Structure 1
Amino acid sequence: MTPEHVSDLALLYEGSCCSARYCNMFEQPVCAEGQMYQSVCEFEERQCIEFKLFKNHISMDSSQEKCSCTAPCPTEWNPVCDKKGQTHANFCTFLNSKCYHKNQLNETLEVDYSGVCCEDMCSAGQTSLTVCDSEGKTHTDICSFYVAKCRQMRRGTGKKRLQIAGVGPCKPKNPLFRSFDYFVNRSVNYRQSKANRV
């Protein structure tokens, strides 16, 4: 960092930073002093920050009405993907997250499909190979194609399974452009055959 940017930094608190420990997908939301947290890990991080900033100790209280819709969940792996693209370990953990989103964020959370979210299967931008799919959509990399194919299969949409139609961007389907391509290709072929005869 250059010296001129040091002035942009501000000390929040002294000591090591509060950070959430790894939390498994089966943890349920918890309540503390009128606030709902998505997991014990998130609560512990907030508890640490509250203490370092204000010397205030917050404690869990699951008897609050906000926490009444959360439940302990079985530790079975039967994943579902919500419409925000987040994978939940099972339907029970999804319902707990739905409760959290409704009570804390005033948002509605819905299941998109069963299984791990397609976005979790690969990282976009791993390869810059542009491909055209069988439905005429251009994908800037292979990963985005596989995510689209996965979604189509999980949601049961599309009459035919999505395939790679070619490498490079899709060609326009407009008949005018097809005619133009035909004449350009014919002109190139004519010039090549004429050059071969000479």
Structure 2
Amino acid sequence: MARKTGSHSEITGPLIRQAAEELFAEHGYAAVSMRQIAAKVGVQAGALYNYTADKQSLLFDMMQAHMDDLLAAWGAEEKGQGPMDALEAFTRFHIRYHLARPKAVFIAYMELRNLTPENFQVIEDLRKTYETHLEDILQAGKDDGAFTLADTKLAAMAVIAMLTGVTTWYRDDGRLTQDRIERVYWNMVRKAVGA
């Protein structure tokens, strides 16, 4: 049986990606087999190859989709006027976007080591594109005197690391609301860039 009765590619494909995301986030890419992914979806292992060439392609496609979606969402985000507004928009956007996708974020950072060199380069280029958006904001703020920075690239990496770290500890039922976290982090980021 290659496909469950009544299953459709527009349903099964997303189910495979969802199952892979859950399993990779819980056990790690190297520990998960295509057979496990198939079992979680409820299809035979051979049926997965109707949707992906292999496990590496599945991981790469998931990571590339995550980065493409992130870049598109940031591109559509309202950035306000000037570097201060743009930095606040970036801070709040990054937290909000990443908190909604903790498994994808975990995989995007922890599984880079499991990509082939060619696939790694594609993802790395997409990551650099996103980082450059923040670097450009910081450079504009430095140029107009809004921010005091010794090194905009280093500051961008530090800010992204700080913001992404929220996904490791945040809980929906925790002490702080997401809005409160955004406000606290915005205050920390503002101080970190000497604003």
Q: TM-score, normalised by structure 1?
A: 0.25
Which is strand-richer, 1 or 2?
Answer: 1
Structure number, greater radius of gyration: 1
Identify which of structures 1 and 2 has the higher relative contact order when contacts are C-alpha pairs closer than 8 Å and 6+ apart. 2
Which is helix-richer, 1 or 2?
Answer: 2
